[in-house]
């Protein structure tokens, strides 16, 4: 059993007590890269909103006023979470839909034939396909930056070489949802801004582990998914005010144009989900998930790496540096899909895939691999139990 330390400042038992899904031990959740569990206060906020605020915006009656308060609270919470002003935040169905919506608004304002968009070869396709489609419509060019074939780390030299005077957008993920790599977002943004391009950031996986500050990293647009950090199924985005102001949104004509972020929000807002989002941010702040919680999670990741048994191959970054605790692995001589099923039968929620929607990594992964995602509500005992199961499966050759 590994003896790597865990963070003693973080009361993981108190955190777990806030999740109905974590009480009773029916499953051990190592599948958070695909979506986290939801604390009780988030579920209660959604239920309360449906009970007390059924209606729509624009009325003077009590339920409508409650909805207006829910929407305002959600934008305030988003601003705290992202490090921006409330009017620079917007919500949508999910991150992918928001990315298509915003990339379309940008493309019709600022993407022309021969222009270039730079994307990363290791990223989730929700960060890539919107630009492939936008470039197809505009006659623009998509350039793809290479990654290290062993560690999947971003090749910054190749990134600098791909950016040129026709570059209009540099789109990238801060953290990989497959292998856990983390890139220097501020460095990438500087390279984009040096040629007048936008830094367009997918923080979906990063936001589940580390604090965000869109001002510090100098993001122009940033998108993420609250259901990855204990919230409901929504998309959340930040847009720099001066950037959003230059675009004509796809919207119905009577909808308000201010605050500026809300002009990109279409139809009736899912106010019950917004109430849940506000509760999720309050939970995040209360338990210090991106601070002490991440220190706890990082320690669990180091414990996992230190305890990997012989016969288990780690794919991607070999250490805990420049990564979040999300791991790809394969047991030598075993089919990864079968390994995943064996682990599921033992009570571990894990998944096997050839790409985890990161199509540029498919050849580098070289077939299916099992993904293990450690989160702040996991425990050292759960990590040790997974290591014991891997040891047992690796011995069965």
Domain assignment present for 311: yes
Domain termination site, one of 264, 285, 306: 285
Report, as an integer, the average pLDDT of 40-68. 93
Residues facing 173 on adjacent strands? 202
Average pLDDT, the chain: 94
- The dihedral through the CA atoms of 367, 175, 247, 59 has a sign that is positive
Q: How far apart are CA 240 and CA 271, in angstroms?
A: 24
Domain termination site, one of 228, 251, 285: 285
Residues facing 254 on adjacent strands? none
Co-location of 267 and 335 in the same domain: no
Report, as an integer, the average pLDDT of 11-15. 96
Burial class of residue 58, CB neighbours in 10 A (0-12, 13-18, 19+) = exposed
Which residue range forms the structural domain that includes residue 254? 43-285
pLDDT of 6 over the 80 cut: no
Domain termination site, one of 285, 309, 342: 285
DSSP for residue 259: S
pLDDT digits (tens, 9 = 90+) for 332-349: 999 999 999 999 999 999
pLDDT of 100 over the 50 cut: yes
Co-location of 117 and 52 in the same domain: yes
Q: In the chain, pLDDT over 70 holds for what percent of residues?
A: 98
Domain assignment present for 114: yes
51: number of Cβ within 10 Å: 9
pLDDT of 188 over the 90 cut: yes
Co-location of 178 and 317 in the same domain: no
Between the alpha carbon of residue 233 and those of residues 155, 202, 228, 270, the distances in Å are 33, 16, 9, 10
Lowest-confidence range among 28-37, 49-58, 215-224, 349-358? 49-58
Domain assignment present for 36: no
Q: How far apart are CA 179 and CA 371, in angstroms?
A: 8
Q: How far apart are CA 206 and CA 173, in angstroms?
A: 8
- CATH number, residue 236: 3.40.640.10
Q: From 176, 233, 230, select the one nearest 202 (Cα to Cα).
A: 176
Contact 37, 377 (CB under 8 A): yes
**Residue 16 is inside which H or E element, if any?**
helix 12-16
When pLDDT is cut at 50, 70 and 90, the band that residue 8 belongs to is low
Number of domains present in the structure of the chain: 2
Contact 21, 43 (CB under 8 A): no
Q: Which long-range contacts (CB under 8 A, 24 or more apart) does 4-7 make?
A: 4/299, 4/302, 4/303, 4/306, 4/307, 5/299, 5/303, 6/296, 6/299, 6/300, 6/303, 6/380, 7/292, 7/295, 7/296, 7/298, 7/299
When pLDDT is cut at 50, 70 and 90, the band that residue 1 belongs to is very low
Contact 155, 162 (CB under 8 A): no
Backbone φ/ψ region at 149: left (φ over 0), alpha (ψ -120 to 50), beta: alpha
């Amino acid at each position: 059993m590994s003896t790597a330390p865990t963070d003693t400042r973080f009361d993981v038992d108190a955190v777990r007590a806030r999740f109905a899904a974590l009480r009773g031990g029916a499953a051990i959740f190592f599948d958070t890269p695909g979506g986290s569990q939801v604390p009780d206060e988030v579920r209660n906020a959604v239920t309360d909103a449906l009970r007390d605020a059924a209606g729509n915006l624009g009325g003077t009656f009590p339920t409508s006023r409650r909805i207006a308060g829910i929407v305002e609270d959600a934008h305030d919470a988003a601003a705290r979470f992202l490090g921006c002003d409330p009017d620079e935040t917007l919500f949508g169905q999910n991150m992918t839909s928001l990315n298509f919506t915003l990339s379309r608004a940008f493309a019709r304002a600022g993407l022309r034939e021969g222009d270039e968009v730079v994307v990363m070869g290791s990223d989730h396709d929700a960060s890539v396909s919107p630009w492939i489609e936008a470039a197809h419509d505009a006659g623009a060019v998509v350039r793809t930056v290479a990654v290290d074939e062993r560690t999947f780390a971003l090749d910054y030299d190749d990134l600098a070489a791909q950016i040129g005077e026709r570059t209009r957008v540099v789109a990238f993920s801060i953290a990989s949802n497959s292998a856990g790599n983390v890139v220097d977002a501020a460095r990438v943004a500087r390279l984009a801004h040096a040629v007048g391009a936008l830094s367009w950031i997918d923080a979906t996986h990063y936001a589940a582990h580390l604090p965000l500050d869109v001002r510090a990293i100098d993001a122009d647009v940033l998108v993420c998914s609250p259901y990855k950090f204990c919230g409901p199924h929504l998309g959340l985005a930040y847009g720099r005010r001066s950037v959003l102001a230059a675009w004509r949104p796809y919207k119905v004509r009577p909808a308000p144009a201010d605050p500026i972020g809300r002009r990109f929000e279409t139809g009736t807002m899912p106010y019950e989900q917004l109430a849940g989002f506000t509760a999720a941010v309050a939970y995040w702040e209360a338990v210090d998930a991106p601070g002490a919680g991440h220190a706890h999670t990082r320690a669990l990741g180091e414990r996992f790496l230190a305890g990997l048994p012989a016969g288990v191959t780690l794919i991607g970054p070999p250490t805990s540096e420049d990564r979040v605790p999300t791991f790809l692995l394969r047991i030598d001589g075993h089919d990864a899909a079968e390994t995943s099923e064996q682990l599921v039968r033992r009570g571990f929620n894990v998944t096997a895939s050839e790409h985890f929607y990161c199509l540029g990594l498919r050849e580098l992964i070289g077939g299916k691999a099992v993904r293990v995602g450690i989160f702040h509500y996991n425990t050292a005992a759960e990590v040790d139990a997974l290591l014991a199961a891997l040891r047992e499966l690796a011995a069965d050759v």
